[in-house]
Chains A and B, each alone.
Chain A
Amino acid sequence: TQLLEQSPQFLSIQEGENLTVYCNSSSVFSSLQWYRQEPGEGPVLLVTVVTGGEVKKLKRLTFQFGDARKDSSLHITAAQPGDTGLYLCAGQETSGSRLTFGEGTQLTVNP
C-alpha cells in the first residue's frame, strides 16, 4: 500500500509570511496533485506534476516534484488570509488510477 506523509499537519502564520508544506513517500508515483479544500466543499485541484524535478508556479504558489518522483513540496510566498484552507497532496500510481492522499495541512493565515 502506497502512503503519503504530509507535514506539517497544522500551520498558523501571519499575513505576509512564507511557508512550505511537504509531501513524502517511499513509493514512486507517476504523477502527484495538490488540492485545496475549504469547509463544506470538495477538494479543488491546484496543480499536477508528472516529471521528476518539475517546478510549477501558480501566482504566489510554487510546486516542486522530487527527482525520484517520491516527494513534493508546496511553497507559498507572502501568504494572505485568502490562502487559508486544507492543502492536500495526492499521488497516482498510474494514469487514471486511484488517488492516494496525504493527511492534509490545515493552513490558517491571520490578518
Chain B
Amino acid sequence: DAGVTQSPTHLIKTRGQQVTLRCSPKSGHDTVSWYQQALGQGPQFIFQYYEEEERQRGNFPDRFSGHQFPNYSSELNVNALLLGDSALYLCASSLQGSKNIQYFGAGTRLSVL
C-alpha cells in the first residue's frame, strides 16, 4: 500500500520563476492538504482540496494556487517566486468522514536563488 508520494524531491529555482509540485495521496484517501515548512519551524497550512475544490485556505498570497484531479492527486503552483519561498513543501492526505488523520509525504525541498 503506497503512502503519500511527492515529486520532485528537490528543486532549485530562481526568483520570479514559477514552480509546480505534485502529490499522490495514500490509496483510498480523497482529501489533500498542503503545508510549507521553513527551516527550523513547524509546518504552516497553505490550503486543502476535497472534491476538486479548495475547501480551506491559510494565510498565503494568491501566488500560491492549487488543483485537485479526479483521481484525488494534487498540484501546488507558486508564481513569481521569492527568496522567502524556499522551504520544505509537505503534502498530507486524509479521508473525509473517517477520523481524518492526515498522513504526510516526505516533501519537496524548494530552494529559490
Contact = CB atoms under 8 A, between A and B. Distances in A.
Interface residues of A, number: 26
A43 interface: yes
B94 interface: yes
Given A48-B101, A96-B94, A98-B58, A42 B4 contact: yes
B45 A99 contact: yes
B104 A96 contact: no
B100 interface: yes
For the side of the interface on B, what is the size category?
20 to 34
Interface stretch (B12-20, B36-44, B79-87): B36-44
A96 B106 contact: no
A102 B40 CA distance: 11
B42 A95 contact: no
Contacts, number: 59
Query: Is chain B's binding surface mostly helix, strand, loop or mixed?
Result: loop
A104 B41 contact: yes
Given A101-B44, A103-B42, A104-B42, A45 B101 contact: yes
Interface in B67-113: 90, 92, 94, 96, 99-107
Nearest to A35: B104
14 contacts: A4-B42, A35-B104, A43-B90, A44-B104, A45-B102, A48-B101, A90-B43, A92-B100, A96-B94, A98-B56, A99-B33, A100-B45, A104-B41, A104-B42
* List of 3 A-B pairs having minimum Cβ-Cβ separation, nearest first: A42-B104, A101-B42, A96-B100
Interface of B: 4, 31, 33, 35, 40-45, 48, 56, 58-59, 90, 92, 94, 96, 99-107
Interface of A: 1, 4, 6, 33, 35, 40-45, 48, 88, 90, 92, 95-104, 106
